[in-house]
Structure 1
Amino acid sequence: MGFFAGVSMTKGLMGTINLFMVVMYLVDSKSHHGVEAKKKVEQNEDDLELERQLKILNVPHPLKTIRTEEGDILDCVDIYKQPAFRNPLLKDHKIQMKPSFFPEGEANKNSSATESLPISLKGKECPQGTVPIRRTSKEDLLRARSLARDFSTNINQSGIHFPGQFQVELMTIQVLEVHGEEGGLVHGASAYINVYNPTVEPTQCTSALIWVRAGPNENFDYITAGWTVDPRLYGDHLTRFFTYWSVNKDKPRGCYNTLCTGFVQVDRSVTPSAPLSPVSTIGGTQYVIKVHVYQDPLSRNWWLIITKNSIVIGYWPKNLFPYLGDGATSVSWGGIAQVGSNGVGPPLGNGRFPYDPFPCYFEWMKMVNKDYGIDPLLKKTDITTYVKGKNCYDILYHKYVPERGASLTFGGPGGINCG
């Protein structure tokens, strides 16, 4: 009897345990499926958002489509129907077809050892009344989104340090220390930059750029322009012109080139992501590109102008910026290098340190002052240099000389343990 009772109790206990296990399994299964369902909903919402962005950025029924030698697809769209005007901040925006003026003193001669780099669609410009917009894919948006989180051109001011990102920079001090009537805001910067094609790994990138900034350290606006080699963004190893703008007020917004609404294109032959070719060789011909970012004194829009012939690509409307709409509080010239997944820093500039023979450089560096005049001297007491990654990179400022104006050299080979 006791035996049967024991068996009965054992069966009862085993039944209870089994029931407990079934309940636990069901609860765990339900929780697991709940998490998976939530992820699926979020993924679907993300996919819908990407599709919404693509519909905005890729204007249907372009008047003409251009396929470049480098593989880019450019759609010629009505200048008044370009994606920029889908930005809510640009509602009722009246397009500005050209700057109200060019700052005085912009004409200078290249040295005999340099050639001005041609940048255009090589005779394939868009028809009158249209502008070229690089066709965007879902993969483009996904790549750009992940990169934007790591991109900062304000490391030394804000205290924000992104893992694996190194920077060399020359900055105007007098602007940073301006308060009240001491000097006032500035309205742009320019320089000639020699263009190279440093070898980078698929997860690395390297850039040479000018940037303008405004706002407090933790909440600033900025615009950058220059050249880059960035397979993470473009899926190739070409040297390309590039731009990036960002607003960090409340909810951050901004993007590379035309991968979001905001930048207004006006030129028919050049896009902000244009490939640059030919490139310089160490000790040989130096191909340079002139980059100029400056604020229009009447509209207060920020213009992007490139090359010796002053091609006006387009502008960022003042409405995009809480702080830059009034002017810049600092302007800088320099480079940024992003370490790859292998932990190795890429070459910066042409891979040579600034004190080595034939380094990468910025020449004829100029600043548009508070009165919209050109300041070509940049006296040494007015600037400072900043380097993150001193073991691998460096920057040197050179005083004004008639042959090349104010200039700097920068770069380095990259490597591990850059500091």
Structure 2
Amino acid sequence: MAPPCGSGRRWSRAIKMTFYLFFLVPMSSTGNRNTNTILGKKQKLEVQQQLKRLNKPALKSIESPDGDIIDCVDIYKQPAFDHPLLKNHTIQMRPSSYPEGFSFDEINDVSSSSEPEFTQPWHLNGRCPEGTIPIRRTKEEDLLRAGSIANFGRKKYLTIPNTQSNFGPPVHEYATYGESDDKYYGMTADINGWNPHTQEENEFSLSQFWLENGEYGQDLDTIEAGMMVFEWLYGDKNTRFFLYWTDDAYQSTGCYNLLCPGFVQIDKQIAMGARLTPYSKYDGDQVALQLYVWKVDVNAGGDWWLKINNKDFGYWPSSIFSILSDSASKVRWGGEVLNYKVNGQHTTTQMGSGHFAEEGPGKASFFKNLNVIDGLQIPRGPRDTTTFMTNPNCYNILDYGSFFYYGGPGRNPNCP
């Protein structure tokens, strides 16, 4: 873990990383994870201790129609404050500043044909009261499914290939758009939401932004958020809202959502890791999630705030980062798929709508209303951008400056 700026960097990573996996788990002979493991006393105790750590005492609990349980936790007792650097942190109930000349209302036009903004199914059965935040409860089966109790909810880079003969080494497939020739203090994006098919339990499909500083294989700080389908983590194939952060290239810091201390949530309406509905419809209504990230009080080492659908959601305290405590050096938007090449074939896991970029409006996935806050702390559209596609026959991207279409079906006659 790279310590925060000012305390000296204790770790320097020169390991060359070939693949990254999300957890190392036992597999059955068919390649599926065994969630029926018989636990010994020690393992049961570890599971219960981890569940107690993850699930804070609730002032109210709401059972969602989709089976999730949402706990309304005292805002001052949320997981963030378990972080050793946040023990004496004073929670910020609103941003201390906004980017100069930047109006969130001006970019709040997703599409004239959009349905009402996303909601979450648990809202049907109740809402969290003032002074609390909603947290999706972690269940015992979640830990058993993931296989790693201590590292549940974290990413890791590993050089160990999958040992099952019908599974190949994991390959990350990308279709992204971004720039990296400036300092960055924020970004915006509207992402239309779909429910892409995923072939395997341990494969995912996501659409997100990345704010990064550093290099893979050495040290990397990132802030990430978007939508994903990841059965391994959530137990189903529904599209869910997520965020992520790391201070050391996914090695030992950071996690999804609130599964480790770090991100401070202030909003009582949106639960990280809970389902988002409705989805966009092929050749029909398009529904978009609006994300805005910006750094407050840039010259005073301010925090990174996240706004969702024009609501101040929460922030990543600057103190939990090292090189990202100052600024980002790269901004990216786009899709990512984890492909295990089962039986030597490319996965059928879809990206976005599951249709290629050239199908265009109403059919392909999009990112639009793209902006960055640059080194002059001025909001502007992307420039000097680059696109990156690992395999355009499987997933591709077409950019038009301040927006782009992307996605694909995965395996097809041109993507065997």
State TM-score, norm by structure 1: 0.76
Aligned partner of 2:3 in structure 1 is none
Aligned partner of 2:190 in structure 1 is 192
Distance 1:323 1:348 in 2: 31
Aligned partner of 1:373 in structure 2 is 378
Shift of 1:202: 4.0
Q: How does 1:72-87 map to 2 (within 5 A)?
A: 72-87=68-83
Q: Is the 8 A contact 1:205 1:228 kept in 2?
A: yes
Aligned partner of 1:215 in structure 2 is 214
Aligned partner of 1:295 in structure 2 is 295
Which residue identity lines up with residue 358 of structure 2 in the other structure?
Y
Report which of the two structures shows the higher radius of gyration computed on alpha carbons.
Answer: 1
Q: Is the 8 A contact 2:221 2:246 kept in 1?
A: yes
Shift of 1:210: 0.6
Aligned partner of 1:10 in structure 2 is none
Aligned partner of 2:352 in structure 1 is 349
**Number of equivalences:** 349
What is the aligned counterpart of 1:131 among 118, 130, 133? 133
Distance 1:289 1:146 in 2: 26
Aligned partner of 1:252 in structure 2 is 252
Shift of 1:252: 2.1
Which residue identity lines up with residue 204 of structure 2 in the other structure?
C
Aligned partner of 2:5 in structure 1 is none
In structure 2, do the counterparts of structure 1 residues 345 and 295 end up closer, same or farther at CA, with 3 Å as the change threshold? farther
In structure 2, do the counterparts of structure 1 residues 283 and 117 end up closer, same or farther at CA, with 3 Å as the change threshold? same
In structure 2, do the counterparts of structure 1 residues 65 and 147 end up closer, same or farther at CA, with 3 Å as the change threshold? closer
Which residue identity lines up with residue 286 of structure 2 in the other structure?
Q
In structure 2, do the counterparts of structure 1 residues 415 and 349 end up closer, same or farther at CA, with 3 Å as the change threshold? same
Range with bigger deviation, 315-324 or 107-116? 107-116
1:273-297 CA-to-partner distances (Å, cap 9, x unmatched) read: 1311111111100011101222222
Identify which of structures 1 and 2 has the higher relative contact order when contacts are C-alpha pairs closer than 8 Å and 6+ apart: 2
Shift of 1:392: 0.3
What is the aligned counterpart of 1:91 among 87, 107, 125? 87
In structure 2, do the counterparts of structure 1 residues 337 and 59 end up closer, same or farther at CA, with 3 Å as the change threshold? same
Which residue identity lines up with residue 368 of structure 2 in the other structure?
E
What is the aligned counterpart of 1:383 among 376, 382, 385? 385
Distance 2:411 2:295 in 1: 38
Shift of 1:151: 7.2
In structure 2, do the counterparts of structure 1 residues 226 and 116 end up closer, same or farther at CA, with 3 Å as the change threshold? farther
Cα RMSD over matched residues?
2.7
In structure 2, do the counterparts of structure 1 residues 192 and 349 end up closer, same or farther at CA, with 3 Å as the change threshold? same
Give the 3-state SS of the residue equivalent to 1:253 in structure 2. Answer: coil
Do structure 1's residue 58 and structure 2's residue 65 form an aligned pair?
no
In structure 2, do the counterparts of structure 1 residues 391 and 119 end up closer, same or farther at CA, with 3 Å as the change threshold? same
Shift of 1:118: 2.7
Shift of 1:56: 2.1
Do structure 1's residue 172 and structure 2's residue 176 form an aligned pair?
no
In structure 2, do the counterparts of structure 1 residues 393 and 141 end up closer, same or farther at CA, with 3 Å as the change threshold? same
Distance 1:250 1:394 in 2: 26
Aligned partner of 1:117 in structure 2 is 117
Question: Mind listing any 5+ residue stretches in structure 2 that lack a counterpart?
Answer: 1-39, 159-168
Do structure 1's residue 70 and structure 2's residue 75 form an aligned pair?
no
Range with bigger deviation, 198-207 or 82-91? 198-207
Which residue identity lines up with residue 266 of structure 2 in the other structure?
V
Distance 1:163 1:347 in 2: 16
Distance 2:56 2:154 in 1: 24
Q: How does 1:285-324 map to 2 (within 5 A)?
A: 285-297=285-297, 300-307=302-309, 310-324=310-324
Distance 1:337 1:330 in 2: 20
State TM-score, norm by structure 2: 0.77
Distance 2:250 2:208 in 1: 26
In structure 2, do the counterparts of structure 1 residues 150 and 250 end up closer, same or farther at CA, with 3 Å as the change threshold? closer
Q: Is the 8 A contact 2:348 2:410 kept in 1?
A: yes
In structure 2, do the counterparts of structure 1 residues 286 and 201 end up closer, same or farther at CA, with 3 Å as the change threshold? same
Distance 1:350 1:250 in 2: 28
Distance 2:53 2:317 in 1: 18
Q: Is the 8 A contact 1:211 1:225 kept in 2?
A: yes
In structure 2, do the counterparts of structure 1 residues 367 and 73 end up closer, same or farther at CA, with 3 Å as the change threshold? same
Q: Is the 8 A contact 1:239 1:275 kept in 2?
A: yes
Shift of 1:339: 1.9
Shift of 1:116: 4.7
* Structure number having the greater helix percentage: 1
Give the 3-state SS of the residue equivalent to 2:50 in structure 1. Answer: helix
Distance 2:249 2:367 in 1: 31
Shift of 1:146: 6.9
Shift of 1:340: 4.6
Q: Is the 8 A contact 1:186 1:367 kept in 2?
A: yes
Distance 2:98 2:250 in 1: 34
Q: Is the 8 A contact 2:110 2:368 kept in 1?
A: no
Q: Is the 8 A contact 2:199 2:348 kept in 1?
A: no
In structure 2, do the counterparts of structure 1 residues 250 and 387 end up closer, same or farther at CA, with 3 Å as the change threshold? closer
Give the 3-state SS of the residue equivalent to 2:358 in structure 1. Answer: coil
In structure 2, do the counterparts of structure 1 residues 51 and 215 end up closer, same or farther at CA, with 3 Å as the change threshold? farther
Do structure 1's residue 235 and structure 2's residue 235 form an aligned pair?
yes
Shift of 1:304: 1.9
Identity %: 37
